[in-house]
Every structure is written in C-alpha cells, then in structure tokens.
C-alpha cells in the first residue's frame, strides 16, 4: 500500500475515543484577521494578599488557609458535586427514565490541590523535586477517594491560564471523584477492552511501541515515560504522557516512575512555555482505570494536555463551525507540532532572562 501524502487534507482515527479528525495542513498559512489574545508578561508576586489560595489568606467561602509550605489540598468551597451526606440527595435518589429523557443523580467529591505556596510559580518553573511532591499528592488522593464504595472514577485535571477559564492564577489543579464513570473515560474503557479482546495486548502499549519506532511525533522522554503528540491530536500542540510500563493508575507507579514522571512533566511544560515565550495555557487531565475493583488489564494510565494556542501567544484555536457541527479539525500536522516542541530548549526562558 502506498503511503498517504500527509501534506494533503486527510482524516485520522482516534482509537481511544472512536472518533475521526480532519487534518488540513494547507490552511496553516491562511491570513488571520480574527481575535487576538492579550499577553500578560508581568511577573506575579510570590505572595498575593488578595489571592484566595495563598497561605494564610481567607478563601471566598470564608475558610482560612493554613500557613502551608508544600502541597496543599482542601475541599472545593464551590463544588460541582455534592456528597451522599447531603439530605436532599438522600431523599431524591431515584432514577428518572423514559425512552428519550433519562437522568440520574450524581454525587462525589471535589477538591483543590495547590502545587506550592508560591503564587508565581507554575509547574514549568518548579524544580522536579517539588513536582514529585505534587505527584505524590495525586497518588494519595487517588488512593483515598478510589477506595470509597461510592466512587467509581477519580478525575485529576488542571486548567492553566485565563484562556482556559482558570478562575485563580495561583498554580493549582483539581480532583473530582464521581459516583459514575464519566463519558470520555467510559469510551476509552470500551475501546481498550475491545482491542485487548481482539489482539491480546493493550492498545496504548502497542501504539507507544509504534511511536517509539517512528520517532516523528515524540517530544521528550526518559527511562520510564514518553511525551508525544498523538497521531490523532485535535488541538495544535496537544500532547500525551504515556508510561513505558503497563500500569493502570497513579497509585501503581513505582518510586522511580514517580521521579521520572516529575522530570517529564517539567520537560514538557517548560517546552510549552518556551515555544512562544509565554506561560502556556492548557487543560490537562489524567485518565486512569475505573476504581470499581476490577483488574482492567488492558488500561494503560496516561495524561492528556490540550493547549489552545495556534500560531503564537496571541492567536488561539477555536472549536467552532465545522468542529461543533461535524468533527474536529486541525491545521498544522501533529508531526510538525512535535518537531517544533522538540526544537525548543528544556531550560525555561525566564531562567535565561534572569541569567541563572
């Protein structure tokens, strides 16, 4: 079979979510007269007395943060989910169902994880040792919440930057633990299970082996982790973190794999910032196996990064029009995106500016 010319418009298949994406490389140079984002380059202070998340400050809900010195976790003051102890949820626990209109109550836990007391340092600017402390906190939260009988899935995610709807600039992420398996992890569960039943191996493991052979979509890697731009990436500089060992969740990581994860997060997020020399916005999420007690031997832990920037720090990708009514579409190819991320240095541009 003759290789496809990937410089022409084509579709790519995402086997994890059973979706297609349109790739249109010829559109990458089209004129842009649309929205231009403002770039905020001023440095934030180490401590902001007006920040709800800084140590010692009063949060919007009235609670006071302790004078924390490391990673800090607390229950979200404005959670998207309510716990089973809520009286109304105990009463209204029936399922409303018909042939078309279906609904069911959802319960769970929402928490906030501040990466450090520093108001001004994102993960890209923290040393790997402090990122390791964040990784350990992720593990602890997954262990605690995943052990509960009323929790079916633990979703860790970070929204970084105003462009991604982050409501507070203090570097942090969130954990939402839900009674039911959410839609996207549910799709990935079904896809990985089908693949395993057909081939006897895990989908992401076979995919990773293919990417390591080809090399064209790799961004950075170490002994235990690989960061790459997926073949089916939707966002311009979308990436995925995949462990080399078949492991289903964060608590199953060995100590050396946690160290290596901190290093690859540092390398990837620094490359993001260096690409356009700006604190790179993104939404990141971990996809682990469900916490239902089943083995799920086909599920390989992975993280996804969805950054919105397209051409520069001021031009972003919008999911509109064709994307909303037909299927996702991208301009620059995943191979070009990976090459550009590989080409930037791993030393943060702010360190270079400071001459440190």
DSSP-H helix ranges across the chain: 87-91, 128-146, 183-199, 203-214, 255-276, 322-325, 334-343, 349-354
Assess contact for 170 and 54: CB atoms under 8 A: yes
- Classify residue 95 as exposed, middle or buried by CB count within 10 Å of its CB (0-12, 13-18, 19+): exposed
Catalytic annotation present for 172: yes
Neighbours of 299 (CB within 10 A): 25
CA distance 114 to 67: 12
pLDDT, tens digit, for every residue of 55-89? 999 998 999 999 999 999 999 999 999 886 664 55
Angle between helix axes 334-343 and 255-276 (nearest 10 degrees) is 90
Determine contact, residues 259/243, Cβ cutoff 8 Å: no
Tell me the pTM.
0.93
| Segment 253-300, tens digit of pLDDT | 999 999 999 999 999 999 999 999 999 999 999 999 999 999 999 999
Distance CA 222, CA 39 (A): 32
In which band, very low, low, confident or very high, does the pLDDT at 27 lie, cut at 50, 70 and 90? confident
**pLDDT the model gives residue 39:** 62
What is the chain's mean pLDDT, rounded? 90
Q: Domain locations in the chain?
A: 44-92+103-354
The confidence band for 33, taking pLDDT boundaries of 50, 70 and 90, is very low
Confidence of residue 128 (pLDDT cuts 50, 70, 90): very high
Selected catalytic residue, list 170, 172, 296, 348: 172
CATH of 44-92+103-354, one of 3.30.70.3270, 3.40.630.30, 3.40.50.1110, 3.30.428.10: 3.30.428.10
Cα pseudo-dihedral 14, 139, 254, 300, rounded to 10:
-20
Question: Does residue 173 surpass a pLDDT of 60?
Answer: yes
DSSP string, 304-336: EEE--B-SSSS-B----THHHHT--EESS-HHH
């Amino acid at each position: 079979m003759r290789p496809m010319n990937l410089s022409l418009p084509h579709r790519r298949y995402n086997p994890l979510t059973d979706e297609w994406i349109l790739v249109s490389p010829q559109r990458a140079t089209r004129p842009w007269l649309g929205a231009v984002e403002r770039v905020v380059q001023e440095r934030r202070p180490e401590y902001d007395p007006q920040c709800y998340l800084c140590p010692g400050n009063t949060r919007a809900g009235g609670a006071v943060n302790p004078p924390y010195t490391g990673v800090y976790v607390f229950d979200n003051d404005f959670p998207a989910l309510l716990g089973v102890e809520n009286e109304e949820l105990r009463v209204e626990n029936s399922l409303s169902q018909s042939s078309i209109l279906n609904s069911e109550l959802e319960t769970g836990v929402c928490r906030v994880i501040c990466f450090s007391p520093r108001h001004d340092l994102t993960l890209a600017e923290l040393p790997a040792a402090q990122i390791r402390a964040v990784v350990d906190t992720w593990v602890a939260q997954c262990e605690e919440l995943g052990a509960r009988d009323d929790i079916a899935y633990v979703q860790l995610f970070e929204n970084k930057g105003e462009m991604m709807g982050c409501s507070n600039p203090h570097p942090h992420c969130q954990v939402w633990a839900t009674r039911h398996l959410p839609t996207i992890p549910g799709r990935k569960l079904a896809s990985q299970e089908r693949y395993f039943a057909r081939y006897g191996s895990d989908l992401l493991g076979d995919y990773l082996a293919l990417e390591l052979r080809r090399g064209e979509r790799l961004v950075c890697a170490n002994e235990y982790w690989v960061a790459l731009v997926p073949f089916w990436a939707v966002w311009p500089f979308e990436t995925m973190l995949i462990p080399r060992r078949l492991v289903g969740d964060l608590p199953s990581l060995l100590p050396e794999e946690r160290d290596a994860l901190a290093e690859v997060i540092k390398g990837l997020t620094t490359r993001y910032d260096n690409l356009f020399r700006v604190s790179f916005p993104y939404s990141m999420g971990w996809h682990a196996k469900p916490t239902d007690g089943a083995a799920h031997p086909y599920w390989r832990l992975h993280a996804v990064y969805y950054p919105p920037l397209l051409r520069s720090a001021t031009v972003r990708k919008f999911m509109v029009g064709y994307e909303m009514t037909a299927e996702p579409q991208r301009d620059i190819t995943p191979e070009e995106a990976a090459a550009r991320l590989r080409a930037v240095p791993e030393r943060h541009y702010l360190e270079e500016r400071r001459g440190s």
